[in-house]
Amino acid sequence: MLLITPFFHSLYAQKHNPLLQFLQNNFDSVIVYHRYSAWRTEPHYEIVAKENKRTYAFIYKNPYVYIGAQPGIMKSRLIKEALLFKNTVPDTNRYLVPARVYNEKSDSLWHTLTAADFWNLNDSLGKQNSCNTPGGGIFSSYDAEEVRLFFITRTAIMQKSFYDPEEFDKACSDDINRKKVIAARKAFAYYLTAQF
């Protein structure tokens, strides 16, 4: 039996998050992948859940992220919808949609993700935003994206955070924890597509 102790440090995890609570109450195990940055603070969750040996996938995201050039009234309506999303607490609302799993291989996605043993990774939260390169230099990254993984069971929600994992891996490729997070991102990108 997997025992996970609660660990929160995300804006959305610290305050009551009805979506994460719903997932905890209705599935045996859940893995949530979330990219976060200073310019992207709203939730964008890619979710894989297991219940009674069946695997399910969902995506919770803002469908109005890329509004682009639109005629006046259309643009103002799309901006209004984008602001509505930004002010909506994550929950089982219209932004949570079932995800199509590539070739219906949801069990393959679940196996790929759980084989990485994420709940035992050492995350990079609180560590310096620099590392020593193999050539003796120092690589630094600021104002980049952070990957957050939530591991949810019936008894706990745990979060691991990794700052700019792909760029750090290119510069300082000595961290197995970071490599597993990059593999998770690739697995989610390969297997999941939203149905809208």
Q: Residue 28: its pLDDT value, please?
A: 96
- 104-150 pLDDT, tens per residue? 566 778 888 888 887 788 877 656 667 777 777 777 777 788 888 99
Q: Residue 12: its pLDDT value, please?
A: 41
Q: Residue 112: its pLDDT value, please?
A: 82
Every domain of the chain and the residues it spans: 11-62+97-194
Measure the CA–CA gap between 146 and 112, rounded to whole angstroms: 21
Measure the CA–CA gap between 196 and 181, rounded to whole angstroms: 26
Contact (Cβ atoms closer than 8 angstroms) between residue 192 and residue 59: yes
Measure the CA–CA gap between 98 and 56, rounded to whole angstroms: 8
For the entire predicted model, the pTM comes to 0.82
Helices (H), 15-71: 18-26
Residues in the chain: 196
Both tokens of 188, joined, read 């989610």
Per-residue pLDDT of the chain (196 residues; tens, 9 = 90+): 333 333 333 344 446 799 999 999 999 999 999 988 877 788 899 999 999 988 899 999 999 887 888 888 999 999 999 999 999 999 999 999 998 776 556 677 888 888 888 778 887 765 666 777 777 777 777 778 888 899 999 999 999 888 888 888 888 777 888 888 888 888 888 877 655 4
Measure the CA–CA gap between 15 and 9, rounded to whole angstroms: 10
